[in-house]
Amino acid sequence: MKLIYPINVKNEFVFNSSARDFTVEEIPLYEFTGEGEHLVLQVRKKDMTTWEMLDAISNHLGIRRRDMGYAGLKDKYAMTIQYISILAIHEEKLKAFTHDKIKILSMVRHNNKIRVGHLKGNRFKIRLKKVLGVQKDKLDSVLKWIKNNGVPNYFGNQRFGNDGDNWVDGKKLIDVELKIRDKKTREFLMGSYQSYLFNKWLSKRMELNMLLEEFSESEVEQVMGLPKGSLAGTKEEPNFFKLVEGDTMMHYPYGRVFNVEELSKEAKRFESKDIAPAGLLAGKKAKLSTSTAGLIEAPFAEDIPLNGTRRYAWIQVTEITKNYVEEKAHYELSFVLPKGSYATNVLDVLRGGTI
Measured distance CA(129)–CA(321) in Å, rounded: 17
Measure the CA dihedral 34/39/40/44, to 10°.
130
Q: Which range among 8-17, 32-41, 87-96, 141-150 shows the weakest confidence by mean pLDDT?
A: 8-17
The 3-state DSSP class for residue 337 equals: strand
168, 288: one domain: yes
pTM: 0.90
In this prediction, residue 12 has a pLDDT band, given cuts at 50, 70 and 90, of confident
Give the end of a domain, one of 81, 104, 121. 121
- Average pLDDT over the chain, rounded to an integer: 93
Q: Measuring CA to CA, which residue among 191, 227, 182, 234 is closest to residue 211?
A: 234
Q: Measuring CA to CA, which residue among 215, 172, 150 is closest to residue 349?
A: 150
332, 256: one domain: no
Contact assessment for residue 231 and residue 221, using Cβ atoms and an 8 Å cutoff: yes
Q: Are strands 119-128 and 330-338 parallel, antiparallel or unpaired?
A: antiparallel
Residue type for position 23: T
Q: What's the first-to-final CA gap in the chain, in angstroms?
A: 10
Write the pLDDT tens digit of every residue in 124-169. 999 999 999 889 999 999 999 999 999 999 998 878 887 889 999 9
Longest CA–CA separation in the chain, Å: 70
Query: Which residue did the predictor score with more confidence, 305 or 353?
Result: 305
Query: Which pLDDT belongs to residue 279?
Result: 97
Is the pLDDT assigned to residue 2 strictly greater than 60? no
Measured distance CA(79)–CA(72) in Å, rounded: 15
Measured distance CA(39)–CA(111) in Å, rounded: 9
182, 310: one domain: yes
75 catalytic per annotation:
yes
Measured distance CA(252)–CA(244) in Å, rounded: 18
Write the pLDDT tens digit of every residue in 275-309. 999 999 999 999 999 999 999 999 999 999 999 99
Is the pLDDT assigned to residue 353 strictly greater than 60? no
Q: What is the domain-level CATH number for residue 179?
A: 3.30.2340.10
In order of 73, 192, 264, 312, 339, the CA distances from 257 in angstroms are 26, 23, 18, 11, 18
246, 259: one domain: yes
140, 178: one domain: no
- Looking at residue 117, the DSSP 8-state letter turns out to be T
Q: What is the domain-level CATH number for residue 76?
A: 3.30.2350.20
Measured distance CA(328)–CA(106) in Å, rounded: 34
Measured distance CA(273)–CA(36) in Å, rounded: 37
In this prediction, residue 69 has a pLDDT band, given cuts at 50, 70 and 90, of very high
168, 298: one domain: yes
* Mean pLDDT, rounded, for 239-253: 96
User: What is the domain range of residue 109?
Assistant: 22-121
Give the end of a domain, one of 105, 121, 137. 121
115, 144: one domain: no
Is the pLDDT assigned to residue 5 strictly greater than 60? no
- Bridge partners for 38 per DSSP: 87, 110
Query: Which pLDDT belongs to residue 354?
Result: 37
Number of domains the chain is built from: 3
Radius of gyration of the chain (CA): 22
325, 353: one domain: yes
94, 167: one domain: no
236, 252: one domain: yes
Write the pLDDT tens digit of every residue in 89-101. 999 999 999 999 9
10, 52: one domain: no
Measured distance CA(220)–CA(212) in Å, rounded: 7
In this prediction, residue 218 has a pLDDT band, given cuts at 50, 70 and 90, of very high
Residue type for position 48: M
Residue type for position 35: E
331, 257: one domain: no
Is the pLDDT assigned to residue 4 strictly greater than 50? no
Set 21, 75, 169, 348: catalytic member: 75
Q: Which range among 40-49, 207-216, 225-234, 252-261 shows the weakest confidence by mean pLDDT?
A: 252-261
